[in-house]
Amino acid sequence: MKVQTAFALAAAVLVVLALAPLFIPDYWTGVLLGMTGYVTLATAWALFSGPTRYVSLATVAFFGVGAYTVAVLNEAMPYPMVLLCAAGIGMALALVVGLSTLRLAGVYFVIFTFGLAELVRQVVSWWEVNVTYTMGRYVFLPFEGRHIYWQLLALAAVTLLISWAIGRSRLGLALKAVGDDETVAAHAGVDVTRIKLLLFVISATIITLVGAIQAPRWTYIEPSIVFNPTVSFMTLIMALLGGAMRLWGPLVGAVPLFLLFEWLSVSFPDHFSIILGLLFILIVFVMPNGVLAKLEDLRKGGRA
Amino acid sequence: MSAQLEISNLNKRFGGLVAVNDVSFTLRPGEVVGLLGPNGSGKTTVMNMISGALPSDGGQVRVGGVDITRMKPHRVAKHGVARTFQLVRPLPTLSVAENVLLSLAFGRKRHWGREARDLAEEKLAFVGLAGRGEEQVGNLTYIDQKRLEMARALASEPELLLLDEWLAGLNPSELRIGIDLVQHLQGQGMTVLLVEHIMEAVRALCSRCIVMSAGEVIAEGESGEVLQRPAVIKAYLGDDHA
Ligand SMILES: Nc1ncnc2c1ncn2[C@@H]1O[C@H](COP(=O)(O)OP(=O)(O)OP(=O)(O)O)[C@@H](O)[C@H]1O
Ligand SMILES: [Mg+2]
């Protein structure tokens, strides 16, 4: 498909999705909202973790920081400023975390990022209890579901655009090389540390914004709500299911899994975590490179 | 003209093991020099310290008069030093052409787009992989992987090329092709440090060689003469008998 055709098609889909809330019941707008949030999270996650294969469980650390920033600042300044502040804080946190952890290899990185989310939650709780004497905050912003949805849809489109642009740039090639063999990449002239840090920061900033934009949905926010580790796991599973190395992979994984999770959490609320875990294992074993890669393999196999 | 590569008093220890002990030598521009020695004598370790893969424990590496001792590998690459790895290391998620594009995009110049693709094809043709750019590296034969390793090194447009047993494991006809290729580079004025066990290749390519044993330089000079020296023969035979 030519690039122009693909763009025209994507733009058309975007318009349809943007108009949808005007025609569908509020409940379904809510579903679309949640789905768009996860599509963005999974795509942003894969931006860094896909090519580099650094499996990050820090998603909810940044997501939560975004949401909590809005909870703290929403009455102090105009909304666009609040979003900017959230993005800035997420970026700064990502820089610090990136500089201190991107030298860690493999499983140490996974464990550290998981610990980070918990650490951030504890620090925020401690601060609220001991310094500000508030536990839980209210978000008073005049947004309905569809307003939040539109913001997320715009962010999703921008995220996919960034992912597409990186994929065809020098940066994208360098990232894939880093994922394959850091030593070889460095000897080819790639500043490995800088490139990993850059992508980690871009990815984390987008994730922070997803949290910030979604904050008004809760009206009441406390650390245990916005720093829920399930968010990190769901993001990871969605990106892996679709294939974290491809532009559309995370989206392809996020849409069906979000619907499945919605249904599961309503129908089997007590067994949700177990099913999530089993699904994770299944995906890793059956199609470690994701559905899209699996389909390609099957098609090639069929032809051969 | 000053030396292309100047190594002085280089040292490296791994725990209690002295892998490289006070090694010094010089390469003039356009020279192809052999770095020889039995297994474990420290040749690859010297190369790793030149390319920035390993920090040295003392001594200095100068390339084109610039001190690169403490440079990180990507800075060294941009300074005009490229290398191949003793065990080939193709990047498996990249296509053959992309392996070469990487060095073109991040080497001494920033080639990208149409121009870079043409240059990649040119480098691939030079090593004998013309028209193979779209292939997966996993499907390449051993010699073709070696060719790709060379193409990727050349694509960063180096002035100094470090070849770590690049000719090892080739059959006689492939070896001939490999030697021709290095001679071709020599004709273009490339300075090459050639780590090699195959004497036929050393005799054909290197006017001069440096012999290491147990981390130290034990001989240095004109190839034909050096390879006759008793100390050199003893170092190799001793190794063979071990
Ligand atoms: N990263 C490392 N850690 C510990 N020891 C090492 C390391 N790299 C090399 N050595 C040791 O240093 C010594 C020199 O190794 P080196 O690889 O430089 O030898 P070489 O001359 O290249 O040998 P070969 O001809 O087998 O490639 C060997 O004893 C080796 O075991
Ligand atoms: Mg070696």
Where is the domain boundary, B157, B173, B188? B157
User: How many angstroms away from the CA of A52 is the closest CA of chain B?
Assistant: 11
Average pLDDT over residues A79-107: 91
Q: In this complex, do A190 and B106 lie within 8 Å of one another by their Cβ atoms?
A: yes
- List pLDDT tens digits, range B53-63: 999 999 999 99
- Radius of gyration, alpha carbons of chain A: 19
- B130 and B224 housed in the same domain: no
Residue of A nearest to B155 (CA): A188
Same domain flag for B143 and B182: no
**What residue ranges of chain B have pLDDT lower than 70?**
1-2, 238-242
Q: Are residues B217 and B126 in the same domain?
A: no
Q: Do B76 and B165 fall into the same domain?
A: yes
Around Cβ B127, how many Cβ atoms within 10 Å?
23
Q: Do B162 and B75 lie in a common domain? A: yes
Ligand 2 centroid to B157 CA: how many Å? 24
**Nearest Cα residue in chain B from A50:** B93
Strand order in the sheet with B66-67: B17-27, B5-14, B58-63, B66-67
Please indicate whether residue B156 or residue A298 has the higher confidence score (pLDDT).
Answer: B156
In a domain, B133, yes or no: yes
Same domain, B2 and B114: no
**Beta partners for residue B195, in sequence order:** B35, B164
* Both tokens assigned to B159: 């002035």
Amino acid found at B209: C
Residue keyed to tokens 């245990």: A224
User: Which of B21, B35, B41, B48 most suits a substitution to test ligand 1, by most atoms within 8 Å of the C-beta?
Assistant: B41
Q: In this structure, are strands B160-164 and B191-195 parallel, antiparallel, or unpaired?
A: parallel
- In this structure, the answer to whether residues B7 and B67 fall within a common structural domain is yes
pLDDT tier, A287 (very low <50, low <70, confident <90, very high otherwise)? confident
Q: How far apart are CA A65 and CA A33, in angstroms?
A: 20
Condensed to tens digits (0 to 9), the pLDDT of residues A15-53 reads 999 999 999 999 999 999 999 999 999 999 999 999 988
What distance in Å separates the CA atoms of residue A88 and residue A216, rounded to the nearest whole number? Answer: 19
Question: Is the model's pLDDT at A302 over the cut of 60?
Answer: no
B7: in domain? yes
* SS3 state at A39: helix
**Alpha-carbon span B91 to B98, nearest angstrom:** 9
Domain-terminating residue out of B109, B132, B157:
B157
Whole-number Å distance between alpha carbons of A44 and A38: 10
Alpha-carbon Rg for chain B in angstroms? 18
Instruction: Quickly tell me which residue has 């108009």 as its tokens.
Output: A19
Q: Is residue B231 part of a domain?
A: yes
Largest CA distance in chain A: 67
A114-146, pLDDT tens digit by residue? Answer: 999 999 999 998 988 888 888 788 888 888 889
| Residue at B28: amino acid letter | R
Range of the domain at B52: 1-80+158-242
pTM for the predicted model, two decimal places = 0.90
CA torsion A287→A292→A297→A298, rounded to 10°?
90
Give the number of other CB atoms < 10 A from CB of residue B214.
Answer: 16
- Is B230 a member of any domain? yes
Q: Which pLDDT value is given to residue A301?
A: 64
Mark whether B153 and B163 lie in a shared domain. Answer: no
Domain boundaries, chain A: 2-228
Q: Is residue A172 within 8 Å of A164, Cβ to Cβ?
A: no
Overall domain count for chain B: 2
Same domain, B190 and B137: no
Write phi, then psi, for B110 (nearest 5 degrees): -105, 80
Residues in B closer than 8 angstroms to A192, CB to CB, are 74
Please indicate, yes or no, whether residues B115 and B141 belong to a single structural domain of this protein. yes
Position B85 in a domain: no
Q: Which pLDDT score is estimated for A298?
A: 75
**Which one of B126, B157, B188 terminates a domain?**
B157
> How many CA within 13 A on the CB side of residue A136?
5
Pairing state between β A137-138 and B17-27: unpaired
Q: What is the ipTM of this complex?
A: 0.93
Q: Is B91 helix (H, G, I), strand (E, B) or coil?
A: coil
* B143 and B204 belong to one structural domain: no
Amino acid at B166: W
B69 plus B162 within the same structural domain: yes
Percent of chain B clearing pLDDT 70 (strictly above): 97
